[in-house]
Amino acid sequence: MRYFDDHPDVLEWASEELIIPYVSPLDNRVHRYFPDFWIKMRDTSGKICVRVIEIKPEKQTRPPEVKSRRTKKYITEVATWGINNAKWTAAQEYCKDRGWSFHVMTEKELGIA
């Protein structure tokens, strides 16, 4: 977060302040999603833009491999993927409606892998 404070192109930022409603595939009810970061910044062309960023382990950014045995671990992975996918779909629509962009970043993009 110090990066946002110190970066000259970051005009404003917030952590887990934005609320995006989404429908969970587990219970078909509306829940609230709090993305990790909301950032208002100047891009390389000087244009002001807003980005919403979610930080997740790379493993959680793709569906789990289908397995023949339905272990508790596998069921949890499937549920996690379903919820994450629902959140990210809602976030993409929410951001698109406002002219913002939505990004999921992993340890690879952050350079910590």
Q: What percent of the chain is helix, strand and coil (3-state, nearest 5)?
A: 35, 30, 35
Per-residue pLDDT tens over the stretch 26-63 = 999 999 999 999 999 999 999 999 999 999 999 889 89
Q: Which two tokens stand for residue 101?
A: 């962009």
53 lies in some domain: yes
- CA-nearest of 35, 61, 62, 38 to 50 is 38
pLDDT value, residue 51: 96
Predicted model pTM: 0.88
70 vs 25, which has greater pLDDT? 25
66 lies in some domain: yes
Domain count, the chain: 1
113 lies in some domain: no
Residue 63: helix, strand or coil by DSSP? coil
112 lies in some domain: no
Mean pLDDT (the chain) is 93
pLDDT value, residue 111: 81
Contact partners, residue 23, CB within 8 Å, separation at least 6: 29, 30, 31, 86, 90
Read off the pLDDT band of 113 (50, 70, 90): low
Domain residues for the domain of 44 are: 2-107
